[in-house]
Amino acid sequence: MTTRLREDAPSAGAGGASALLHVQDLRRDFGGVWAVDGASFAVARGAITSLIGPNGAGKSTVVGIVGGAIRPSSGQVIFDDEDITSLPPHACARRGLVRTYQLSSEFAKLTVLENLLVAAPDQRGESLATLVFGKRHWREQEERAVIRARTLLERFGMGEKEDEYAGNLSGGQKRLVEIMRGLMAEPKLLLLDEPMAGVNPTLAREIEGYLAQLAGEGLTMLLVEHELEVVERLSQAVVVMALGRVIATGTMAELRSRPEVLNAYLAG
Amino acid sequence: MIVSASVLVPSIGFGLVTASILALAAVGFTLQFGVTNILNLAYGDVMAAAAFIGYVLNKHGASIAISLVVGAVFGAVASLLLNRCLYMPFLRRGTKLFGMVIVTLSVGIIIQNVLLAIFGATFFTYKFSVGSQVHVAGMVFNGSQILIMGLAVAAMLLVQVVLTQTRLGKAMRATAANAGLAQASGIATDRVVDVAWLLSGALCGLAGVVLVLNTSAFQSTTGNDFLVIIVAAAMLGGVGRATGAMVAALVLGVVTEVAAGYISPSFKEVIAFGVLVVVLLIRPQGIFGQAAVERDLA
Amino acid sequence: MNATSYYLTTLLVYLGVDILAVWALNLQYGVSGVYNFAFIVFQAVGAYTAGVVTLGSPSQNGGFQHYILGWHLPYPLPVIAGGLVAGALSVPVGLVALRKLRTDYQAMVMLVLSVIATLVVENVTGLFNGPAGLSLIPQPLTNGVASSSLNYQWLYVGITAAICGVVYIFVHRVTSSPLGRALRATRDNEAAAEALGKDVFRLRLFIFVFGNAIAGVSGAVLVQFIGAWSPGSWLYVETLVVLTAIIVGGTGNNAGVMLGALLVPVAFNEATRYLPTIGRPGLIDALQWIVIGLLGLVFLWFWPRGIIPERRRRFARQAARTGDAPRAGEPQLADPVV
């Protein structure tokens, strides 16, 4: 399964109308320790942007802020031309900014199919009107969602597992469910927090393949990733963080020769 | 409202006695909670059990001193056994925070009703001489109340010595302050947990006997009735912080008695409950604690 | 023969009330992970409401009770009122107490609120007659049927069953719908549910209000049968009985918790009630509580999911399954039974 870099995708540093996400001057401290101390970058539409950096660089905090789970001490997050800085996670998700989690976050006592169905957006069956009108209020929409979910399951090779409790899956399978769930939510931007961490190499290559396919279909992604080779293969744009700051942006080829990037990885 | 000395000063006196009892109980509670992270709702009932054991001894002619010592020993042993035989096995099975609440609550209900089944629903009193009255700065104390306050001070000093001078004591404080780090450094071993339950249990048993010495009559539910103000003091002072619990006990003890003197006795409880709810909702780390960090149960 | 029938009908009414209660608390605890240790307060709210809207003014009842309102609402308004008031009261409580708090602290907050509620009712005697409570609450629909007759007992059993049926429709609508699924997702992993667009707080507030409204209905049904209600009827530990019933019967399963309602409150409490009074008075009560406590511990240890655990929801498959998207013939949604 080969992946191709899309040379026509704009680089991460570029702002302007084509960027789906702008992160401006984010800062966040925890009890006096500045986890993020001035981070700015943009995520272009239709491309994969990677966020890399040594441990403690602040990547997870940035992801938390962008996704709405953490409030920044200062700075802004602009998504699709809207300031979403102070919005909670569910509001961000409703606007198409969907985040996946690094550690296992499956709904353990729901089946795999139900895990995906939960993610379907704007479900009539979740409104209070369900109490009044009952099943006929949501039956049709649910049936369509089931079809969509099953299609996804087939695509990711988990069609046979739809009735399995998500808590009983292997680590790798849980990771796939995580990604499928994110896709089920019909995101404009998929925020993937180390999707291949702790997964066996075969599955990691598989996931990489899926991500490349999705990028080829035009899905915008922001990927936090450790393995630099993967980053080089997948991303059109890379943002490097160290010690809470964004220290460089560009393509992997450009960054390889930059001394500050090398130093950050050697020192950190 | 005119603060008349005739109500205020004696109320403060009552408050100091209540604070002494509360300090013993709250320090015990907070030490165990701080180390193990288990909200032990059976604490008050173990206090009651210790009180009843002391009562049985007292009825057969034992002195108060014996009742106090046996109560403390009973509390220590009972708490250690409860942890080893019940709480720890449940934890190892993966029971989480709320599940442990149900477990400790069920245990408490069982203890309370075993006491009820054995002793019946009537009220009980210890037989002892209350001692002559002492006048201090407008407040009046009888002999047993002086004893209670003296005991509390002595116990608090002893606890402070253990916590600051012994290795196990320091390990307990480290675990309570930052359990994740302590666990990672291998400090929070089974032994530290055992000591926490023993020490907390001893204080629990002591507080139980002391509590019923001060009240004119007690029954199987007396310990449980006291539980909320104990938890309030422990939370207010910051979970795991012995000195915090002592200060909180002093404040709560005096404030509730003064309120009882001015408004009505049942207001004591309302204040205690109100404080607890406010603390839990607004500042769960208490006055002296730091923001709570996610941690495992020990 | 008659005594047995009276006993049976009383048992059935209590069973119906307990079934309503377990469904309600199960919606909160089993389905949604909301730890409502103040549950019993809302049942009491329903009972008190039904009482004060049917008792008429205090002077009409001999003047020895003091309480608010004192109307004469016709049936079934008292039951509806009980549910509405309990639900309404849940809103401010939920807004305050359902914030993001670690689960044992939340249990503690609710527990303390439960005790505060008891204190308030006991001390503000003008509300519901303080510690003595309300009595002489009239039974409904006694026009055609004499209130102390066996026929009336059966009539009330029928009323209770009907109310259970109506409530079940709505309970089932929640548990079998995407709304129920969203609630279960919230229970299993709050952060992930948020990240997928679920407003966790709003969902929890809804189920808190809805569950407590049903609790209020159960209280109204009970109080109009037994005619009296006092703080002793709703000590905070009563929530533990309902919780134990849920744990024993099957957390998260509507049928399972019904079984729990049969086994725990009804079978244990009622069966021991008719044992000969051995030992001193109050011993049987103490033993009952010990059994409840032990049941909880034993089941949490051996069978934490209960006798009838939460069902796995399956979705019917269509006939042909190829690699592409399925064609005509939409998948039939399997109708969950409970």
**At a CB cut-off of 8 Å and minimum separation 6, what does A182 contact?**
A98, A99, A100, A119, A190, A192
Q: How confident is residue B249, by pLDDT bands cut at 50, 70 and 90? A: very high
Q: Which of A60, A90, A117 to probe by mutation at the C interface, max C CB count within 10 Å?
A: A90
Report how far Cα A27 is from the mean position of its chain's Cα atoms.
21
Identify whether residues A61 and A74 lie together within a single domain.
yes
Identify the CA nearest to B234 among candidates B64, B38, B9, B89: B38
Distance from C-alpha of A25 to C-alpha of C193, rounded to nearest angstrom = 28
DSSP annotation of C58 reads G
As a whole number of angstroms, the longest Cα–Cα distance in chain B is: 58
Burial B90-116 (b: 16+ CB within 10 A, else e): bbeeebebbbbbbbbbbbbbbbbbbbb
Is A174 within 8 Å of A156 (Cβ atoms)?
no
Helix (H) or strand (E) segment spanning residue C309: none
Q: Which residues share a beta bridge with C330?
A: none
Per-residue tokens: B61 = 């002619």
Identify whether residues A120 and A243 lie together within a single domain.
no
DSSP string, A51-65: EE-STTSSHHHHHHH
Q: What is the reported pLDDT for A3?
A: 35
- Cβ–Cβ gap C312/A118 under 8 Å: no
Q: What backbone torsions phi and psi does residue B243 show, to the nearest 5 degrees?
A: -65, -40
Whether residue A49 is contained in a domain is answered as yes
Identify whether residues A117 and A97 lie together within a single domain.
no
Q: What is the reported pLDDT for C16?
A: 95
- Cβ–Cβ gap C315/A162 under 8 Å: yes
Q: What is the reported pLDDT for A14?
A: 45
**What average pLDDT values come out for chain C (338 residues) when binned by 10 residues?**
80 94 96 93 96 85 80 89 96 88 84 88 87 87 74 90 96 95 94 93 96 97 93 90 93 93 81 65 82 92 91 76 44 44
Report how far Cα B98 is from the mean position of its chain's Cα atoms.
21
Per-residue tokens: B201 = 């249990």
- Cβ–Cβ gap C310/A125 under 8 Å: no
Partner residue facing C297 (CB), from B103, B112, B269: B103
Contacts of C312 in chain A (CB under 8 A): 111, 163, 165
- Cβ–Cβ gap B117/C112 under 8 Å: no
Which residue is it, tokens 């015990």? B28
Helix (H) or strand (E) segment spanning residue B236: helix B222-236
Using CB atoms, list chains with 3+ pairs below 8 Å to chain B.
C
The backbone region for B186, taken as left when phi is positive above 0, alpha when psi lies in -120 to 50, beta otherwise, is: left
Per-residue tokens: C189 = 């992993």
- Cβ–Cβ gap A143/C330 under 8 Å: yes
Identify the CA nearest to A178 among candidates A125, A118, A234, A238: A118
- Cβ–Cβ gap B228/C294 under 8 Å: no
Which chain B residue has the Cα nearest residue C105? B280
Whether residue A85 is contained in a domain is answered as yes
Distance from C-alpha of C265 to C-alpha of C237, rounded to nearest angstrom = 13
Q: What is the reported pLDDT for A28?
A: 92
Whether residue A163 is contained in a domain is answered as yes
CA distance C15 to chain A (A): 25
Identify whether residues A14 and A145 lie together within a single domain.
no
Identify the CA nearest to B105 among candidates C308, C195, C247: C247
Here the ipTM equals 0.87
Helix (H) or strand (E) segment spanning residue B201: helix B190-214
The backbone region for C332, taken as left when phi is positive above 0, alpha when psi lies in -120 to 50, beta otherwise, is: beta
End-to-end CA distance of chain A: 33
CA distance A235 to chain C (A): 24
- Cβ–Cβ gap A107/C182 under 8 Å: no
**Which three-class secondary structure state does DSSP give residue B163?**
helix
Identify whether residues A99 and A201 lie together within a single domain.
yes
**Which three-class secondary structure state does DSSP give residue A192?**
strand
Q: What is the reported pLDDT for B280?
A: 82
Q: What backbone torsions phi and psi does residue C67 show, to the nearest 5 degrees?
A: -155, 165
Fold of B5-282: ABC transporter involved in vitamin B12 uptake, BtuC (1.10.3470)
**Which three-class secondary structure state does DSSP give residue C176?**
coil
Partner residue facing C178 (CB), from A90, A123, A150: A123
Distance from C-alpha of C243 to C-alpha of C250, rounded to nearest angstrom = 10
CB atoms within 10 A of CB B235: 30
Distance from C-alpha of C25 to C-alpha of B273, rounded to nearest angstrom = 24
Per-residue tokens: B187 = 């400090």
Partner residue facing A117 (CB), from C181, C192, C210: C181
- The list of chain A residues with pLDDT below 50 reads 1-16, 268
Output the domain CATH number for residue A240.
3.40.50.300
Distance from C-alpha of B102 to C-alpha of B41, rounded to nearest angstrom = 9
**At a CB cut-off of 8 Å and minimum separation 6, what does C4 contact?**
none
Question: How do beta strands B139-141 and A237-242 pair?
Answer: unpaired
Q: Which amino acid is at C30?
A: G
CA distance A87 to chain C (A): 12
**Which three-class secondary structure state does DSSP give residue A199?**
coil
Helix (H) or strand (E) segment spanning residue C65: none
Contacts of C333 in chain A (CB under 8 A): 139, 142-143, 146
Is B196 within 8 Å of B31 (Cβ atoms)?
yes
Distance from C-alpha of C132 to C-alpha of C134, rounded to nearest angstrom = 7
**With a threshold of 0.90, does the pTM exceed it?**
no
Name the residue ranges covered by the structural domains of chain B: 5-282
Q: Which of C102, C123, C294 to probe by mutation at the B interface, max B CB count within 10 Å?
A: C102
CB atoms within 10 A of CB C216: 34
- Cβ–Cβ gap C104/B274 under 8 Å: no
Per-residue tokens: C105 = 């602290």
Helix (H) or strand (E) segment spanning residue A228: helix A228-234
Identify whether residues A88 and A38 lie together within a single domain.
yes
Which chain C residue has the Cα nearest residue B42? C293
Q: Which of B104, B116, B239 to probe by mutation at the C interface, max C CB count within 10 Å?
A: B116
Distance from C-alpha of B25 to C-alpha of B206, rounded to nearest angstrom = 8
CA-atom Rg of chain B in angstroms: 19
Q: What is the reported pLDDT for C275?
A: 63
Identify whether residues A121 and A244 lie together within a single domain.
no
- Cβ–Cβ gap A131/C330 under 8 Å: no
Q: What is the reported pLDDT for B256?
A: 87
Identify the CA nearest to A48 among candidates A207, A190, A249: A190
Is residue B61 predicted with pLDDT exceeding 90? Answer: no
The total number of residues written for chain C in this structure: 338
Q: What is the reported pLDDT for A238?
A: 92
Whether residue A61 is contained in a domain is answered as yes
Identify whether residues A33 and A58 lie together within a single domain.
yes
Looking at the structure of chain A, the number of domains it has is: 2
**Which three-class secondary structure state does DSSP give residue C264?**
helix
Is B43 within 8 Å of B230 (Cβ atoms)?
yes
CA distance C336 to chain B (A): 28
DSSP annotation of A110 reads S
B195-199: average pLDDT: 92
Partner residue facing C184 (CB), from A109, A135, A150: A109
Is A59 within 8 Å of A53 (Cβ atoms)?
yes
Is A146 within 8 Å of A117 (Cβ atoms)?
yes
Identify whether residues A12 and A93 lie together within a single domain.
yes
Whether residue A173 is contained in a domain is answered as no
In this complex, is the C-beta atom of A164 within 8 Å of any C-beta atom belonging to chain C?
Answer: no
Identify whether residues A145 and A253 lie together within a single domain.
no
Q: How confident is residue B139, by pLDDT bands cut at 50, 70 and 90? A: confident
Distance from C-alpha of A125 to C-alpha of A122, rounded to nearest angstrom = 9
CA distance C170 to chain A (A): 6
Instruction: Look up the domain containing A144 and give its range.
Output: 110-168
Contacts of B98 in chain C (CB under 8 A): 35, 103-104, 106-107
Is C153 within 8 Å of C5 (Cβ atoms)?
yes
Q: What is the pLDDT of residues B84-132, one digit of tens each?
A: 999 999 998 888 888 898 999 999 999 999 999 898 888 888 877 777 7
Q: How confident is residue B34, by pLDDT bands cut at 50, 70 and 90? A: confident
CB atoms within 10 A of CB A64: 21
Partner residue facing A181 (CB), from C173, C196, C326: C196
Which chain A residue has the Cα nearest residue C333? A143
B168-174: average pLDDT: 83
Identify whether residues A155 and A220 lie together within a single domain.
no
Identify the CA nearest to A65 among candidates A75, A52, A55, A51: A75
Is C88 within 8 Å of C205 (Cβ atoms)?
no
Distance from C-alpha of B32 to C-alpha of C320, rounded to nearest angstrom = 61
Identify the CA nearest to A234 among candidates A250, A261, A216: A216
**At a CB cut-off of 8 Å and minimum separation 6, what does A256 contact?**
none
Contacts of A93 in chain C (CB under 8 A): 194-197
Distance from C-alpha of C122 to C-alpha of C44, rounded to nearest angstrom = 13
- Cβ–Cβ gap C182/A123 under 8 Å: yes
Cβ-count burial of B295 within 10 angstroms (0-12 exposed, 13-18 middle, 19+ buried)? Answer: middle
Is residue B49 predicted with pLDDT exceeding 90? Answer: yes
Distance from C-alpha of C82 to C-alpha of C68, rounded to nearest angstrom = 14
